Structure 1
Amino acid sequence: MTAPFTFNTTRSVRFGAGVLGELPALALPLTGPRVLIVTDPGMMGTGIVDLAVGLLRDAGLETTLFADVQADPPEAVVLAAVDAAREARAGGIIGLGGGSSLDVAKLVALLAPGMEALADVYGVGKARGPRLPLVLIPTTSGTGSEVTPISIVTTGAAEKMGVVSPHLIPDLALLDPELTLGLPPHVTAATGIDAMVHAIEAYASASPNNNPVSRALACEALRLMGGALLRAVRDGSDAAARADMLLGSMLAGQAFANSPVAAVHALAYPLGGHFHIPHGLSNALVLPHVLRFNAVVAPAPYAELAPHAFPDLAALDGQERAAAFIERLATLSADCGLPQRLRDMDISAEVLPRLARDAMNQTRLLVNNPRPLTEADALAIYTAAH
């Protein structure tokens, strides 16, 4: 008998080439005539922000820009964006860009009404709402933030903390694969591996809310992305590959939003916090080593996933198939041109114990790992990855 579970996702999803043009008609009923767009400096040079602003203003919406989002956004950036929303008297928030911009937009929508403070909402289920109407438009195929109840913030010098609440799920996710055509190969690769990690960890999660819907979505996400990632990296203008990556990323986001991720993310976060390594690359660096650790006692999920991502692995069985899946993921990462070792990122062996200690603070994630993991285990995984 299927165990009880809960599945939540974005109320409305609009997917398709060119759907950015529908933004004014879709946003206005939600946000009203005054919006704040949350984005980052890199996006400002792409022409996408100008296009979105032009569409909104031509439709009569009063549009204010906050374009100071940083990767791994610190609390100060979130609070500055909240101030901008209040000053603009925004009736709704539009997040446009990669995962960091979308995460900041979520928190701006939550905090701008002034009903709660950022320091009070860290953790699971702490945010009470209400929030401003929220539209998210991803321009990378990685985080799936447009369909998740999660926002990650860098607190202090290096530690990352999460706000997890259904109140962060947006009203509308608008996915236009044409917005991803300009992504450079290294960003395509890192964000693509990140999305595949979401699907893998959601499927294998030890969460009591691991459910049939999330598992089905994870399988379809891997089917799409396993066949498309390398094509998208090698030919950024491959529209079909870009569409499969964006859709796969969203499906993986829906999966892990309800069946949460685990030790790959827990060990990746200290790499981003201390060394400012992009999140997707941090995941890629530890992914095969965490999965090898898990597969010693829990090979079944990886064996089940293998033929969805790599159909030829269906010829193998059990532990052999799980092992081949892990090695194929490592090969895919290398073929995409991503660094493979922590030492490639100028991370010395001396800092590995500190990384292991910091990883153990990610209790929200570690409880979902299919194999219990100690600080000594974390250090051994970092050492293997070094």
Structure 2
Amino acid sequence: MRPFTFNTTPSIRMGAGLLDELGGIAKTLCGDRVLLVTDPGMMTTGIVDRALDCLRKAGVSVTVFSDVQADPPEAVIHAATQAAAGTGGVIGIGGGSSIDVAKLVALLAKGGQALADVYGVGMAKGPRLPLIAVPTTAGTGSEVTPISIVTTGASEKMGVVSPVIIPDLALLDPDLTRDLPPHVTAATGVDAMVHAIEAFASASPNNNAISRALACEALRLMGPALERAVHQPHDMDARADMLLGSLLAGQAFANSPVAAVHALAYPVGGHFKVPHGLSNALVLPHVMRFNAETAPEPYAALAPIAFPALAGLEVPQAALAFADELAALSLRCGLPSGLSGVGISESDLPLLARDAMNQSRLLVNNPREVTEADALAIYGAAL
């Protein structure tokens, strides 16, 4: 076995109703002053109000920053960091964008580094403020990853990747996902499945036995649960399986990094403001079919774990059937069938292909080399 490193969130708590224990948890970890980072949509759900009530009853003073945007730009990071002045810790409540912002605020408000200096792998050095992540979607796994994604300029995305920004505690309460709209449940759920699939198949030298085992368990949970969560939103067993599966997939790809699906999804989101999970869903089966031409084995291994009906197929057939079943699952969950369904035309594809080539930190992990011509062909197949 080759050497590897595995980092994850030191403490994970999961259970229905755990949000009501946030006050005591935060008091112990962060002290009596915290910054709560969230987005405008979350402010309308009642979840933030519950959190604030619990925190204040525990004697914790709270500053709320609620201006997080999807695919957060640098200006949001800077504004949230200013709001953190004088606080003893940071709590991120919401989807991946809110938690990503909370990670960077905890770093920048304490460590003295500038945002421009922490982009890339291992550039964030710390120290940072104590950090609690409370996910309200089952998708990004950001509560257990060392990654925060920022939109720079008009459409380019850059990552901060460092174990320093892994939260101290992830609080998973499946009740918080109960009222997610079906299209959000679907897109974020496929996103989590992508994390597991790419982690398992990653060509990263840090692809490891722990990540692969977590990816398998994540897909075993999410394969049958996603459609139930979309169409029976108050099926709390399905909601819990999706939330736990998302976390496990996050742990997997945090240590065995993602690849071409994400590399090709980022330009779709950057230029056309397509949510990240949906961008991944739209390109996923087409990247898998491309990879399966030379590296079908990992997909064949995962196929019967996610979809037991695919057991018994030969390796090439299983790999392609897995891609087909994922595409069909997206359709059954109500997601668009192609890039044209989100306003992308054939004339846009060369721009997307050029921009995908900028994601070298991801493409290097793909099990098959991807050229700009390959990316263009994949986008064409996904149109």
Per the shorter chain, which TM-score range?
over 0.9
Within a 5 Å distance, the mapping from 1:169-180 to structure 2 comes to: 169-180=166-177
Q: State the alpha-carbon separation in 2 of the partners of residues 256 and 128 from structure 1.
A: 21
In structure 2, give the amino acid aligned to 1:195: A
Structure 2 counterpart SS, 1:368: coil
Residue 323 of structure 1, CA deviation = 1.0
Within a 5 Å distance, the mapping from 1:151-170 to structure 2 comes to: 151-170=148-167
Deviation by residue 1:224-274 (Cα, 9 ceiling, x = unmatched): 000100000001101000000000000000000000000000000001100
Structure 1 counterpart SS, 2:311: helix
Asked whether 1:262 is paired with 2:259, we answer yes
Q: Which residue of 1 aligns with 2:309?
A: 312
Structure 1 counterpart SS, 2:13: strand
| Kept in 1: contact 2:196–2:252 (CA 8 A) | yes
**Aligned positions, number:** 383
Residue 81 of structure 1, CA deviation = 0.1
Q: State the alpha-carbon separation in 2 of the partners of residues 125 and 43 from structure 1.
A: 31
Q: State the alpha-carbon separation in 1 of the partners of residues 87 and 108 from structure 2.
A: 12
Deviation by residue 1:291-337 (Cα, 9 ceiling, x = unmatched): 00000000000000011100111121211111111100000011000
Q: Which residue of 2 aligns with 1:343?
A: 340
Q: Which residue of 2 aligns with 1:218?
A: 215
Structure 1 counterpart SS, 2:126: coil
Q: Which residue of 2 aligns with 1:358?
A: 355
Structure 1, unaligned runs of 5 or more: none
In structure 2, give the amino acid aligned to 1:50: D
Q: Which stretch of structure 1 is more off in the superposition, 317-326 or 145-154?
A: 317-326
Q: State the alpha-carbon separation in 2 of the partners of residues 226 and 303 from structure 1.
A: 15
Residue 382 of structure 1, CA deviation = 0.5
| Kept in 1: contact 2:118–2:160 (CA 8 A) | yes
Q: State the alpha-carbon separation in 2 of the partners of residues 346 and 255 from structure 1.
A: 32
In the superposition, the TM-score normalised over structure 1's length comes to: 0.99
Structure 2 counterpart SS, 1:141: coil
Structure 1 counterpart SS, 2:68: coil
In structure 2, give the amino acid aligned to 1:365: L
Asked whether 1:375 is paired with 2:356, we answer no
| Kept in 1: contact 2:111–2:127 (CA 8 A) | no
Q: State the alpha-carbon separation in 2 of the partners of residues 156 and 251 from structure 1.
A: 32
Q: State the alpha-carbon separation in 2 of the partners of residues 347 and 210 from structure 1.
A: 34
In structure 2, give the amino acid aligned to 1:295: A
Structure 2 counterpart SS, 1:315: coil
Runs of 4+ in 1 over 4 A off after TM superposition: none
Residue 114 of structure 1, CA deviation = 5.0
Q: Which residue of 2 aligns with 1:101?
A: 98
Q: Which residue of 2 aligns with 1:71?
A: 70
Percent identity of equivalent pairs: 73
Residue 115 of structure 1, CA deviation = 1.3
Structure 2 counterpart SS, 1:17: coil
In structure 1, give the amino acid aligned to 2:130: P
RMSD, matched Cα: 0.6
Within a 5 Å distance, the mapping from 1:271-350 to structure 2 comes to: 271-350=268-347
